[in-house]
Amino acid sequence: MRAVHLISACALACLLMETAHAADNGVYAGFSLGQSTTDFPDDVGSFFDDKDTAFKLVVGLRPMDWWAVEVAYVDLGEVTQRQDIAELSGFKLEQAGFGAFGLLLYDISMVDLFARAGLVRWDADLSANTFAGTLRASESGTDIAWGVGAQLRFGSLAARLEYERYEIDETDGLIGKPDLFSVGLTWTFF
């Protein structure tokens, strides 16, 4: 009798593990929150607070266990002047964009490791109050973005940890390329 219970328990555990292992494919949406960093050249970098809170909204389709496509809106926050520097009053750089990405996924039980690559259509708005008046400038463009991450799946819910790099080249080296470290959740609808 004990052997029957042991075999039944093992069979049930195998079925549950197989269910937990299978990715929940379909249409999903999610939200991530994190910290963006925009680097500056060493000679001017000490004047700016180059880190800010950032967020991302994402909608995707995962038709197979090993690949997905996503569209996302990302707000990379603001780069501002450090409070203890008085040379440029009111300096602010805001960066945001829309992106389309392909994801390659490798699943290990309930965990997916993934790499992403795609294009981002970005906008950057700069304003600074100087002794000569207010300076305003805007730039936009389309550039490559890429990233890596991992997600832990709980059925239709997944918790993500990811790093992304936005290869924005329009600033002629004056402002570095923004990075984003974020944590988030996605929910697969169908």
Residue 40 confidence (pLDDT): 67
Residue 2 confidence (pLDDT): 55
Q: Rounded to whole angstroms, how far apart are CA atoms 47 and 115?
A: 34
Query: pTM to 2 decimals?
Result: 0.80
Q: Is the predicted pLDDT of residue 7 greater than 50, yes or no? A: no
Distance, CA of 72 to chain centre: 9
Q: Rounded to whole angstroms, how far apart are CA atoms 73 and 100?
A: 9
Between these two residues, 104 and 20, which has the higher pLDDT value?
Answer: 104
Between these two residues, 184 and 167, which has the higher pLDDT value?
Answer: 184
Tell me which fold the domain 2-188 belongs to. Porin (2.40.160)
* Beta carbons within 8 Å of 138's beta carbon, 6+ residues apart: 123, 124, 125, 126
Residue 9 confidence (pLDDT): 47
Tokens of 57: 């909204």
Q: What is the band of 152 on the pLDDT scale with cuts at 50, 70, 90?
A: very high
Residue 22 confidence (pLDDT): 60
Between these two residues, 80 and 23, which has the higher pLDDT value?
Answer: 80
Q: Is the predicted pLDDT of residue 83 greater than 90, yes or no? A: no
* Beta carbons within 8 Å of 133's beta carbon, 6+ residues apart: none
When pLDDT is averaged across residues 141-150 and rounded to a whole number, the result is 96
Closest CA to 162 of 122, 118, 114, 97: 114
Which amino acid type is present at position 95?
A: Q
Q: What is the band of 133 on the pLDDT scale with cuts at 50, 70, 90?
A: confident
Q: What is the band of 54 on the pLDDT scale with cuts at 50, 70, 90?
A: very high
